[in-house]
């Protein structure tokens, strides 16, 4: 298999799902079935911890929730697995589309 002269440029237009994980918890099925309005589910993450940013389920960054024009937004604070000196050289550009922000 040979690479086209434009390398991996063709991958830039591939859609991916960006999601943000607030935290997790483990519950018994009977507890889940008992959930309703006003139920409180406590997650495993502290309020001052950074949130996990996932692309197609794989962690790529950590960030914090911000408000932008009345909507939730995400400020990327650090890239996962990127060394400090390489982080200065790397830039990630995502489209301005409505990337889904979800909680788990």
Rg (CA), the chain: 18
pLDDT of residue 8: 82
Average pLDDT for 79-94: 59
pLDDT classification of 83: cutoffs 50, 70, 90: low
Alpha-carbon gap, residue 60 to 72, rounded angstroms: 19
Domain residue ranges in the chain: 14-89
pLDDT of residue 18: 94
pTM assigned to the model: 0.64
Q: What is the pLDDT of residues 45-80, one digit of tens each?
A: 999 999 999 999 999 999 999 998 999 999 999 999
CATH number attached to the domain at 14-89: 2.30.330.10
Average pLDDT for 13-27: 94
Alpha-carbon gap, residue 76 to 82, rounded angstroms: 13
- Looking at per-residue pLDDT, the higher value among 23 and 84 belongs to 23
Tell me: pLDDT of 44 over 90.
yes
């Amino acid at each position: 298999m040979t690479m086209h002269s434009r390398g991996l440029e063709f991958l830039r237009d591939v859609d991916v799902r960006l999601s943000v994980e607030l935290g997790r918890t483990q519950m018994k099925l009977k507890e889940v079935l008992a959930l309703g309005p006003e139920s409180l589910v406590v997650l495993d993450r502290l309020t001052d911890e950074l949130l996990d940013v996932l692309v197609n389920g794989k962690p790529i960054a950590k960030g914090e929730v911000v408000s932008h024009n009345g909507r939730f937004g995400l400020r990327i604070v650090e890239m996962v697995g990127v060394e400090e000196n390489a982080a200065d050289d790397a830039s990630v550009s995502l489209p301005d589309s409505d990337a889904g922000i979800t909680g788990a």
